[in-house]
């Protein structure tokens, strides 16, 4: 190796954020292997690289013994003292054994090691960058589709939007710019694998945090979200400032804030309701847009018995039971809805 190669290593270390010592230690180890492979020896050797000149030397390491049984690994005390009179039994003597053409092998091996370490470092850097983005939103371009998997280009890496994380009814075309939620970042032998989602409730939460300053500032708190992706979401919010209307802040003037999110979710309906620590009141709000006459809570069974007018029954239950199902998930209790006429017929 020459000075130019050493400068290149230093430059690469600086650009890629790899410590020079890590690179040189890896090169040293690889050169020991390369020496043993090319010269067919079981010697105990050490490789030294001069950090200024680039010269590479190989030293055989031998243990000083009284009687030599293995000349590759041992040296007699007499021979050792011929090298340096201070050697004693048990000391390690290093003898220079650098082959004439070892510089070429060293340069080739070092290049391979540096390339490998750069790849490893880049993978680590990408992993560390994206693992810190778990539970966050990232924006990327749809790069390609294979079978049921959509691959998203995030710039430094390619991420996966699996079938179960794709919103029913959405289509993803190559070149589409897409906001997604980072569910998980895994370490693999091929580098970090970033798992994305368009169905996770966290996507809705993060979109509102981006769009509503009061949420970002902690004035308005999202207490819970229940979602059936592509169809409907219910979100409970609470204001820590009595002068701020939590629902109004999320909806925005003339509905502008919520509309941005609805557009991003390609038309998904969003019900924003005010959270209450009074469970009966919370359940009544959660069944919005239906208007509720009364709610009674069976605490032992964790059931909310709800009464609505006959005209509101289908709205309260929702298409295929969706409204009641989302409300139950949001409030954490079972909901039994009956109309006034059903109540009267039971009396």
Homologous superfamily (CATH) of 200-275 is K homology (KH) domain (3.30.300.20)
Average pLDDT over residues 248-256: 96
Q: How confident is the model at residue 123 (pLDDT cuts 50, 70, 90)?
A: confident
Q: Is 164 left (phi over 0), alpha (psi -120 to 50) or beta?
A: alpha
The per-residue pLDDT for 142 is 97
- The structural domains of the chain, with segments of one domain joined by +, span 3-119, 137-197, 200-275, 278-347
pTM of the complete model? 0.73
Distance CA 28, CA 16 (A): 20
pLDDT single digits (tens) 15-33: 777 788 888 888 888 888 8
CATH topology of domain 278-347: GMP Synthetase; Chain A, domain 3 (3.30.300)
Distance CA 26, CA 19 (A): 11
Q: List the single range of 90-94, 98-102, 270-274 with lowest mean pLDDT.
A: 98-102
- Residue 62, judged by CB atoms within 10 A of its CB (0-12, 13-18, 19+), counts as buried
The per-residue pLDDT for 62 is 94
Six token digits for residue 93: 């003597």
Of all residues in the chain, what percent carry a pLDDT higher than 90? 70
* DSSP assignments along 301-321, one per residue: TTEEEEEE-GGGHHHHH-GGG
Average pLDDT over residues 129-154: 95
Q: Which CATH number fits domain 3-119: 2.30.30.100, 2.60.40.1180, 3.30.56.10, 3.30.1480.10?
A: 3.30.1480.10
- How far from chain centre, in Å, is Cα 70? 53
Distance CA 109, CA 102 (A): 10
The per-residue pLDDT for 40 is 66
User: Is residue 324 within 8 Å of 292, Cβ to Cβ?
Assistant: no
Q: Which CATH number fits domain 137-197: 3.40.190.10, 2.40.128.130, 2.40.50.140, 3.30.70.600?
A: 2.40.50.140
Query: What is the tally of helices (H) and strands (E) in the chain?
Result: 12, 15
For residue 21, give the 3-state DSSP assignment. helix
Check residues 37 and 305 and name the one with the higher pLDDT.
305
Six token digits for residue 244: 């701020």
The per-residue pLDDT for 2 is 63
pLDDT single digits (tens) 209-233: 999 999 999 999 999 999 999 999 9
Of all residues in the chain, what percent carry a pLDDT higher than 70? 99
pLDDT single digits (tens) 32-72: 888 888 876 778 899 888 888 778 888 999 999 999 999 88
The whole-chain average pLDDT of the chain stands at: 92
The per-residue pLDDT for 1 is 57
Q: Is 237 left (phi over 0), alpha (psi -120 to 50) or beta?
A: beta
Which residues does 273 contact at the CB level (< 8 Å), separation at least 6?
234, 235, 236, 237, 247, 285, 286, 288, 330
User: Is residue 126 within 8 Å of 113, Cβ to Cβ?
Assistant: no
- Fold equal for 3-119 and 137-197: no
């Amino acid at each position: 190796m020459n000075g130019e190669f050493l400068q290149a290593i230093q430059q690469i270390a600086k650009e890629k954020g790899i410590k020079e010592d890590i690179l040189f230690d890896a090169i040293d180890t690889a050169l020991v292997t390369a020496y043993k492979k090319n010269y067919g020896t079981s010697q105990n050797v050490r490789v030294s690289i001069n950090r200024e000149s680039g010269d590479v030397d190989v030293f055989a390491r031998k243990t000083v013994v009284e009687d030599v049984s293995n000349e590759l690994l041992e040296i007699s005390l007499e021979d050792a003292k011929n090298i340096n009179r201070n050697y004693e039994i048990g000391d390690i003597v290093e003898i220079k054994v650098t082959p004439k053409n070892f510089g070429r092998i060293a340069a080739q091996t070092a290049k391979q090691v540096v390339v490998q370490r750069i790849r490893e470092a880049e993978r680590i850097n990408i992993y560390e960058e994206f693992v810190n983005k778990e539970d966050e939103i990232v924006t990327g371009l749809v790069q390609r589709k294979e079978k049921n998997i959509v691959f998203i280009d995030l710039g430094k890496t390619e991420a996966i939007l699996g079938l179960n994380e794709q919103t029913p009814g959405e289509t993803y075309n190559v070149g589409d710019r897409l906001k997604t939620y980072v569910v998980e970042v895994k370490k693999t032998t091929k580098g970090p694998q970033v798992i994305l989602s368009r169905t996770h409730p966290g996507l809705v939460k993060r979109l509102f945090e981006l769009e509503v300053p009061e949420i970002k500032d902690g004035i308005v708190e999202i207490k819970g979200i229940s979602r059936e992706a592509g169809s409907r979401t219910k979100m409970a919010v609470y204001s820590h400032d009595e002068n701020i209307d939590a629902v109004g802040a999320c909806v925005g003037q003339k509905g502008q804030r919520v509309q941005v999110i609805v557009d991003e979710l390609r038309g998904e309906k969003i019900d924003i309701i005010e959270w209450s620590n009074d469970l009966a009141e919370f359940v009544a709000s959660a069944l919005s847009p239906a208007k509720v006459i009364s709610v009674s809570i069976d605490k032992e069974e964790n059931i909310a018995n709800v009464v609505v007018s006959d005209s509101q029954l289908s709205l309260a239950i929702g298409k295929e039971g969706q409204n009641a199902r989302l409300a139950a998930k949001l409030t954490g209790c079972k909901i039994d809805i009956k109309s006034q006429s059903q109540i009267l017929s039971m009396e």
